[in-house]
Amino acid sequence: MPNRFSIDRASALPVYVQLSEQIRLLVHRGALAPGDSMPTARALAVELGINANTVARVYRELQSQGILRLERGVGTFVSAPQGAKLEERDYQRIAKRARQLVDMSRDAGLTARELSQLIDSTWKEASDEG
């Protein structure tokens, strides 16, 4: 799985959040399918230049949520999908709108962290309404 994951060291998001969200998105898009083998925590840590404990933490968290499964002595694998698979056309549409939102936010002087907080609070509000 070379180059599927990357860490933005300039990001305000912690490394473990970046990695966790990347894995979730790849699973949701179907780019990581049920049964796919994940790199070992050590191998992924070396590839990304991060601590192996960080990768292990992400794997444990995703395992507890049913996204990954750990088979001792064998490896870590993608579990059955959680929710509906995101179609490529839907992903592209969302990515385009996200880019527009980022551009508008930058023009307005918002930082990435401020935009992230706005999205989180808006998501929670929408969830409470539904």
Phi, psi of 92 (to 5 degrees): -60, -40
Give the Cα separation of 22 and 31 in Å (integer).
Answer: 11
pLDDT in tens, 55-95: 999 999 999 999 999 998 999 999 966 665 677 788 788 88
Q: Cα–Cα distance between 29 and 85 in angstroms, integer?
A: 6
Sorted by where each begins, the domain ranges of the chain are 15-78, 88-129
Q: What is the pLDDT of residues 25-55, one digit of tens each?
A: 999 888 899 999 999 999 999 999 999 999 9
CATH no., domain 15-78: 1.10.10.10
Per-residue model confidence (pLDDT) at position 49:
95
Contact in structure between 75 and 37 (CB atoms under 8 Å): yes
pLDDT of residue 113: 82
